[in-house]
Amino acid sequence: MPVDFSGTWNLVSNDNFEGYMVALGIDFATRKIAKMLKPQKVIKQDGDSFYIHTTSSFRDYLLEFKVGEEFEEDNKGLDNRKCKSLVTWENDKLVCVQTGEKKNRGWTHWLEGDDLHLELRCENQVCRQVFKRA
């Protein structure tokens, strides 16, 4: 059976989010607030069509895409830099490459046991997040 990321997920760990935010050029005051957050992700997956809504008490970010179809991403409310994004399957991992001003930018989602994992990459920084079902 193909992997299904659908569900509501709560952040339980967030390793090196600070380094990732510094690499993205997020200012100190925003980082101070952002690192206190426990975001929730609502994922709706219909085959290769994805809706990923990351919500928090501070800001929200909605991403909708189809695997294999490049799209313009505005990162509004995050670092606000535009990039061209492409999400592909690598076995059961969902891998996004975000091409733009920042080198080596992207993320990977996968399921491990009952947990949702997210690795966020920018330049030489890697942030590792783990989510549990709400």
Residues at the site binding ligand VLP, with contacts judged by CB under 6 A: 21, 24, 26, 30, 34, 37, 39, 41, 52, 54, 56, 58-61, 63, 78-79, 107, 118
Tokens standing for 15? Answer: 């390793």
Q: 120, 116, 112, 110: which is closest to 41 by C-alpha?
A: 116
Smaller CB separation from ligand VLP, 54 or 83: 54
Smaller CB separation from ligand VLP, 102 or 107: 107
Q: 126, 98, 95: which is closest to 108 by C-alpha?
A: 95
Minimum distance between the CB of residue 120 and ligand VLP, rounded to whole angstroms? 6
Please check whether residue 38 is in contact with residue 21, taking contact to mean a CB–CB distance below 8 angstroms: no
Minimum distance between the CB of residue 85 and ligand VLP, rounded to whole angstroms? 9
Minimum distance between the CB of residue 51 and ligand VLP, rounded to whole angstroms? 10
Task: Give whole-number Cα distances, 23 to 4, 5, 60, in Å.
Answer: 31, 28, 20
Token pair 């659908």 in the structure block, residue: 6
Smaller CB separation from ligand VLP, 28 or 91: 28
Smaller CB separation from ligand VLP, 34 or 83: 34
